[in-house]
Structure formats: structure tokens, C-alpha cells
Amino acid sequence: MTHFITRRTLVQSAVAFATAATLLAAPAAQAATQLRLAVPDPADSSVGQAASRFAALVSEKTDGEVSFQVFPDGILFGKDQNAAVNQLGSGALDGLILASSVYASFEPKMNAISLPYLFADYDQLQGYLSGEPGEDLLASLERFDIHGLGFFLRTFRNVTSRDTAITTAADFDGLTLRTPNNPLFVSLFDALGANPTPMAFSEVYSALQLKAIDGQENPVEVPLNNRFYEVQGHLNMTQHLADSFLLALSDAAWDKIPQEFHAAVQAAADEMILEHDAQEIAQEAEIIAQLEAQGMQVNRFAEGELAKVQEIARGIYPQFEDQIGADFMQMSIAFTAQN
């Protein structure tokens, strides 16, 4: 959805014989602030809809004085997500919504969000993203000249597989699973005994179809939207890892917004995030039901097996302590233990 700024025009004198000089003497109209917001996914995707909702709320809360035009499909940054972060910091992009895991290439502390089994449920994840840890992560972007407005969640990632139902820790043994090219993902599945295989997402369906890999892992909307149910028999509710999206502006764009509207723009971000998170969580159950209707078997860990998987997964934390930072990692673990 695209939002355009309505410019206020000079009001002509009610007197029919008003002269041009009178019009020139009238107060000048205040120019509205127009900004562009880039997202990596299609306009009708969850991220695209979140961007459009934010844009609508900004327009509403600033009476049209500030607006964002949404550009989907990564067209403003050539679909190069790392380049997008650089462009945001330089001011070449006004605004950007991108996964926090992409930002981890620039700020390693962002990897903490994706530590496997750090969060027991969505309440913990939301509390973390909106609480002190999330504020710390937003502040860490300031050195890149990026102004973070907030995080919104993605649903937990789950493993799909062709023939194997994953209900025990041992069921991972020998499975060839596609993962993103991220050391944290690879280390997790290696520790679980699987064969993690980094691969471009565009290649995943054909690799599953040709049986070059046994499965993949993603939030549940991915196998639905990409028809993986045609080549995968099992949806395994492993819920092994979290991710989030970050809504941010360049410092240059934030400075373009008149000070009087800063609070309104932040309020628009906060409201969108609350709405989006509630919707995402509610839709997860509906998507699982749709995958079942398409013939996928939904599996959950047998009693006592989740604890075994969690113990193995948390065993990789020390590998990433230096990268994330020991203090922030301990802060993250302590936060989830207390909330």
C-alpha cells in the first residue's frame, strides 16, 4: 500500500477582488515530510503489510504531515540485504524493515535473539524485544547512524522433513537439512546429529523435490506459501530458534522529521508492532491447520525429549560468547530466566 503526502495549499482570500500581492503576502504553506520505506518481501507478505500499516498510522498520527511510501521486494536495494543496511546507515535509504539476523553481520549482539531455545514462548520473546535487551540492541545501532524504532516478532522456526517424524532427539541423526548460511544454524543442527546444508532459498524446493535434501527449517508460513507440503510429509514443531524484524530509519531521515512529530512516529511504530505480533501468533495455528489439510503430519516431541534437545542446543552457546559478547549473552540468559 502506498501513502502519499497531502500538501496544504495557500487559502485564497474570500474577497473576489483580492490581488496577487495579497496572495503573495499570505503565510507560506508548511511542506510535508515524505520518506521511503524499503522492505525485502512482497507487498502482500506479512512484512509488507506491517510496513503499510506503519505508514498508515504515521499519516494518521501526524495529520498527513509525515508520510512513508512503501517499496516492496527489495527494489530499493537490489535485493542485497547487507547492502541495504549500509545504505540505511549512509542515508541512501530513509527507512528499512529487515530481519535482525541480517543486522547480526554488522552488530554481532543481534545473534542473541537467535540463540536456540533461549525463549520458552512468545511472551518471553516479546518481553525481550520490547524490554531492556531490545533497547540495548536498538542503541547498538547508533554508531551506524541508524535510528531503531522497534522489533516485531517472527514465529518460531520448525523443521519439515520428507519421511522422518521428529519426536525424539535421536530423530535428527543423519537428516540432511537445508539451513541459511549462518554459523549459528549450522552449529545447532551439527550438534543435534543432522547434516546441515547451507543453500540459497531459491534452490530449496527443487532440492526437496529431487531428494537432494531431506528437509528444511523455517517459520510455518514458509512451507505453506512455498508449497513445500507437495514434497514434505512432516511438519515437526521443533520451535528451535527465534528471529525478528527490525523497523529502523536512517539518522538523516529521523532528522528530516520535524521534532514535533517524533513522538507520533514512534507511537505509530509501537502500535503497529503490537498489532502485528498478535496477528502473527494467532495466524500460526491457522497455518498449521492448513498444512495438515494439505496432508502434512504434525509432530511434537515425546515426553522428556524436548529437554534433551534443549540441553544439546544450549551446549553451543559458548561457541558464540565472544561474538555476541559475554556480558550481553549473560544478560539475555538472565532476562529470560526471570521473565
| Segment 107-129 mean pLDDT | 95
Q: In this predicted structure, what is the pLDDT of residue 88?
A: 98
Helix (H) or strand (E) holding 165: none
Burial annotation 247-268 (CB, 10 A radius, 16+ → b, else e): bbbbbbbbeebeeebeebbeeb
Query: Is the confidence at residue 6, as pLDDT, over 50?
Result: no
Q: What is the mean pLDDT of the chain?
A: 90
The rounded distance, in Å, linking the Cα atoms of 88 and 134 is 20
For residue 168, pLDDT beyond 80: yes
Give the integer Cα–Cα distance in Å for 88 and 302: 45
Within 10 angstroms of residue 338's Cβ, the number of other Cβ atoms is 7
- Quickly state the pLDDT bin for 16 (edges 50, 70, 90): very low
- pLDDT tens-digit map of 257-290: 999 999 999 999 999 999 999 999 999 999 999 9
Length of the chain: 339
What pLDDT shows up at residue 19? 33
pLDDT top residue among 44 and 16: 44
Percent of the chain with pLDDT over 90: 81
Assigned CATH class of 20-155+243-282: alpha beta
pLDDT at 9 > cutoff 50: no
Residue-range domain boundaries for the chain:
20-155+243-282, 157-242+286-338
Which CATH superfamily hosts domain 157-242+286-338? Answer: Bacterial extracellular solute-binding protein, family 7 (3.40.190.170)
Across 3-12, 44-53, 226-235, least confident range? 3-12
Averaged pLDDT for residues 181-193: 93
Average pLDDT over residues 25-39: 68
Residue 244 pLDDT > 90, yes or no? yes
pLDDT of residue 24: 32
pLDDT tens-place string over residues 323-337: 999 999 999 999 999
Same fold, 20-155+243-282 and 157-242+286-338: yes
Reference 239, options 167, 300, 159, 156; nearest CA is 156
> For the segment 67-95, what is each residue's pLDDT rounded down to a tens digit?
999 999 999 999 898 899 999 999 999 99
pLDDT in tens, 308-318: 999 999 999 99
Residue 59 has pLDDT above 80, yes or no: yes
Burial of 52 (0-12, 13-18, 19+ CB in 10 A): buried
